[in-house]
Amino acid sequence: MSTEDQQIERRGRNRVVTARVLVVDDSSATRRILRRLLEAVGYGVTEAADGLEALALCRADPPDLVLLDIDMPVMDGPALVGRLQEDDELAEIPVIFLTARTSGADAAAGLQLGAHDYLRKPCEPVELEARVGAALYRRSQHRSLRESALEADRLSTVDALTGLANRRQFGRRRDQLLATTVEGTSVGLIVLDVDHFKRVNDTEGHIVGDAVLRILARRLSTAIEASHLLVRWGGEEFLVLAPRLNEEATNELAQRLHLAICATPFGVGADRLIPITVSIGCVSGRLDEIDALIPLADEALYQAKRDGRNRVVHQTAPTSSE
């Protein structure tokens, strides 16, 4: 639960403290009565005499809930609800309609317009407190569920060990670039693999092996640009997606990554240094042919391994006419 939600919770489900309620009614007497009742149970209250004034207040400082009269001059309650729902930042503010009408059809119409609940005027203090508290609690729960879903989605695109992007995030970024980048835009792909990593695990243990991968991820992260995507491609293999890099720039980046890893031994303990090298394959080409470039980068990586490891091999992508 967010800090904001924790601040508005009070004594369980139906009580909220420090929540701010906007009371919108063209009757100053009604506003005064509602303010007194709400402040008595711990809510902060702001007032507006019509929908237009209320809209301005919501935009300036969104309240936690709106108590809204249906019939008002200038802008009535239904019109205000429509304006709130058009604004992504205001659409989730719960609205409770206030109405002097007595028919069930009128109440149903208000709910269909987008209100979360309704109260008939004059309202009993106990009912007012219960409905306001329930609406705020539902909002808090909805927000918590949404934040949990967003966090779960974020975690599904992040490698747990290194904190880098994983293949799923790579796929999303690739699709985003393909959808938003002009045809023919260049892209660089760099694939690197830790040399003799199994030997590290076998001789030093998996805890040290994990530490090596985390250190490597940090070094790579500092060597790339903000527009690049660094991915743990699998095991001890990593990939860099670098939009708008031509062949020369891609090769220069690959050399910079190689130096960032190999120039200095990895400190995996207070007095333990391990020399680590990587083999790197890179390729550049058209972004709209990215799926065909990945095997070429892999081929360059395998060539670097065959040539003795600890080196960069650049693979030239065929032109579209070939």
Kindly list the catalytic residues: 236
CA atoms within 13 A on the CB side of 176: 10
Contact call for residues 25 and 45 (beta carbons, < 8 A): no
- CA-derived radius of gyration, the chain: 30
Q: Which amino acid is at 109?
A: A
Say if residues 279 and 304 touch (Cβ distance below 8 Å).
Answer: yes
Buried b (16+ CB within 10 A) or exposed e, 20-41: bbbbbbbeeebbebbbebbeeb
Residue keyed to tokens 């590290």: 200
Q: Which amino acid is at 35?
A: R
**Rounded distance, CA 263 to CA 85, Å?**
56
Alpha carbons 147 and 167: distance in angstroms, whole number:
23
Burial of 287 (0-12, 13-18, 19+ CB in 10 A): buried
User: N- to C-terminal Cα distance for the chain?
Assistant: 57
* Residue 244 backbone class (left: φ over 0; alpha: ψ -120 to 50; beta: rest): left
Q: Rounded to an integer, what distance in angstroms lies between the CA atom of residue 222 and that of residue 211?
A: 17
User: Across-strand partners of 158?
Assistant: 165
For the beta carbon of residue 142, count every other beta carbon within 10 angstroms: 12
Exposure string over 255-269, b if 16+ CB within 10 A, otherwise e: eebbebbbeeebebe
